[in-house]
Structure 1
C-alpha cells in the first residue's frame, strides 16, 4: 500500500541525505518526494510517498524520529487531505492535432506554457489522479517529455473527506 508521510524537519544541509539513507538502508524506495519551506522559518516540510505495509511504515516513522533535526512525522495516508502535484508535459502537436490537444488541455484545466512548430508544453496542476488521467489521454499523440514535482499534501482542517464524496 502507498503511504504519504509528511515530515517537518530543520532546514539544514544534510537532513534530506540522512532521511534518504535511512530509507535506502531498509530497502524502501521513495516513489515521490517534495521538499520546501514550512510555515516556521528555519523548517522545511518533506512530503514522501512510500510503498509498504502499515507495520513497516510505523517502524520507519520511529526510525525517522531517531534522526537529528526531525520535529514531526505524520502518516497522512488515511487522513482527509488536500493533495496536489505539478507536471510539465511536452506532447507532439502537429498542425492537424494541435486544436484537439488544446481542447483536451482546457478540459483538464491545464495551461499551454510553450508552443513550438511540432510540440506543445502543458502545465498541469491537480491531484495525482488528474495527472495520470491527462497523460493517458494525451498518450495517443506521443509524449516527448514529462517532469513531475511529486505530491504535496496538507491535512484538511475541516476534516471533510472528499474521497467519500466521489463515490
Structure 2
C-alpha cells in the first residue's frame, strides 16, 4: 500500500539529505517527493509517497521523528485530504490533430502554456488519478516530455472524505 507522509522540518541545509539517507539505508523507495515552505517561518513541509505496510510506515515515522530538525511527521493516508499535483506535458500536435489535443486538455481543465508548429505544452493540475488519465488520453498523439512535481497534500478541515464520495 502507498502511504502519504507529511513531514514538517526546520528549513536548514542537509535536512532533505538526512531524510533521503534514512530511506536509502533501509532500502525504501520514495515514489513522490515535494518540498516547499510551510505556514511557519523557517519551516518546510515535505510531502512524500512511500510504499509499505502499516508496520513499516510506523517504523519509518518513528525513525523520522528521531532526526534532528524534524518537527512533525504525519501519515495522511487514512485522513481526508486535498491532494494535488502539477504536470507539464509536451505532446505532438500538428495542424490536423491540434484541435483534438486542445479539446482533451479542456475536458481535463488543463491549460495550453506553449505552442509550436508541431507540439503543444499543457499544464495539468489535479489529483494523481487525473494525471494518469490525461496521459493515457494523449498517448495516441505521441508524448515528447513529461515533468511532474509530486503529490502535495493537506488535511481537510471539513473532514469530508472525497474518496468515500467517489465510491458512492
Question: In the aligned structure 1, how far is the partner of 2:65 from the partner of 2:40?
Answer: 19
SS of 1:112 mapped into structure 2: strand
Question: In the aligned structure 2, how far is the partner of 1:29 from the partner of 1:45?
Answer: 19
Question: In the aligned structure 1, how far is the partner of 2:150 from the partner of 2:108?
Answer: 18
Moved over 6 A (4+): none
Name stretches of at least 5 consecutive residues in structure 1 with no aligned partner. none
Q: Tell me the equivalent position of 2:50.
A: 50
Q: Tell me the equivalent position of 2:40.
A: 40
TM-score (norm 1): 0.99
Q: Tell me the equivalent position of 2:123.
A: 123
SS of 2:31 mapped into structure 1: strand
1:130-149 to structure 2, matched below 5 A, reads 130-149=130-149
Question: In the aligned structure 1, how far is the partner of 2:95 from the partner of 2:52?
Answer: 45
Question: In the aligned structure 1, how far is the partner of 2:144 from the partner of 2:80?
Answer: 35
* Cα root mean square deviation, aligned: 0.4
CA deviations over 1:107-147 (Å, ceiling 9, x no partner): 00000000000000000000000011000000000000000
Question: In the aligned structure 2, how far is the partner of 1:9 from the partner of 1:96?
Answer: 50
Q: Tell me the equivalent position of 2:92.
A: 92
Question: In the aligned structure 2, how far is the partner of 1:138 from the partner of 1:20?
Answer: 33
Question: In the aligned structure 2, how far is the partner of 1:88 from the partner of 1:12?
Answer: 29
Name stretches of at least 5 consecutive residues in structure 2 with no aligned partner. none
SS of 1:166 mapped into structure 2: helix
- Following superposition, the deviation at residue 49 of structure 1 comes to 0.2
- Following superposition, the deviation at residue 67 of structure 1 comes to 0.4
1:12-91 to structure 2, matched below 5 A, reads 12-91=12-91
The reply on whether 1:112 has 2:112 as its aligned counterpart is: yes
Question: In the aligned structure 2, how far is the partner of 1:95 from the partner of 1:109?
Answer: 22
- Alignment: residue pair count: 167
- Following superposition, the deviation at residue 94 of structure 1 comes to 1.0
SS of 2:95 mapped into structure 1: coil
